[in-house]
Amino acid sequence: MNGAHDMGGMDGFGPVKPESDEPLFHAAWERRAFALTLAMGRPGGWNIDMSRFARENRTPIDYLSKSYYQLWLAGLETLMAERGLVTADEIDAGRPLHQAKHVSALSAADVAPMLARGAPTERDAAVPARFGVGDQVRAKELHPRTHIRLPRYVRGRVGTIELVHGAHVFPDSHAHGGGEQPQWLYTVAFEARELWGADADPTSRVSVDAWDSYLEPA
């Protein structure tokens, strides 16, 4: 899906200015939005890729007008509404208006162990890896209307495999209920001049994690 969220390499947004000693959260509501999104994933039945798609699948004016955690909150509203856990009038009112659905919840004591355990995405590989470290590959020109994790600015460009990570859950299918469909995952290094032309810094390069179906031999 091409959208406003895919900002890599885009002109017009000005330089990135890191905030010195930036806190994890700038306000208490951001911490709550993050916690609520994690907490509702289990009873809501969605996965991390569905959650990403819910945040990214927005019009440019909607996406660009929201801060980072405003997008998390908007994505959570979308996910809950899709599953009948909240209604539009409740979102507008900011409070429950109807009989709530019963969902299973974690106890407070179970939260920290669950977060520490995480949710690994590595899976057994069904086929050998097509590429190895040092291979030249080209990122395919892919423009689906659904979820994709391949940045637009590397599509059609040639890079070099620098790491092979094993087989991992394929987010493009996982985001839409199509199952995990594991694929080999690689880190591909692209020279800055390959991405942005002769005026780019010749000493710079960008590394991108890319699933097997995103790549072809160069």
Q: pLDDT tens digit string along 98-134?
A: 988 877 777 778 878 877 887 899 999 999 999 999 9
In the chain, what are the domains? 28-117 (1.10.472.20), 122-217 (2.30.30.50)
- Helices 68-82 and 28-44 cross at an angle (nearest 10°) of 30
> Does the predicted TM-score (pTM) go above 0.85?
yes
Q: Which residues of the chain have pLDDT under 50?
A: none
Q: CB count, 10 Å around CB of 80?
A: 21
**By C-alpha distance, which of 177, 131, 182 is closest to 158?**
131
Cβ atoms of 58 and 3 within 8 Å: the answer is yes
Q: Can you give the pLDDT at residue 90?
A: 95
Can you spell out the DSSP letters for 3-71? -TT--TT-SSS----PPTT--S-SSHHHHHHHHHHHHHHHHHT--HHHHHHHHH-S-HHHHHTS-HHHH
Q: Can you give the pLDDT at residue 9?
A: 78
Q: Can you give the pLDDT at residue 82?
A: 94
Chain centre to alpha carbon of residue 173: 13
Q: Can you give the pLDDT at residue 19?
A: 93
Q: Which two tokens stand for residue 187?
A: 């880190």
Question: pLDDT, tens digit, for every residue of 150-176?
Answer: 999 999 999 999 999 999 999 999 999
Q: Can you give the pLDDT at residue 111?
A: 79
Amino acid (1-letter code) at residue 175? A
How far apart, in whole angstroms, are the C-alpha atoms of residue 112 and residue 116?
6
How far apart, in whole angstroms, are the C-alpha atoms of residue 19 and residue 26?
11
Distance, first Cα to last Cα, the chain:
24
Q: CB count, 10 Å around CB of 168?
A: 19
Four-residue CA torsion sign, 186, 18, 155, 69: positive
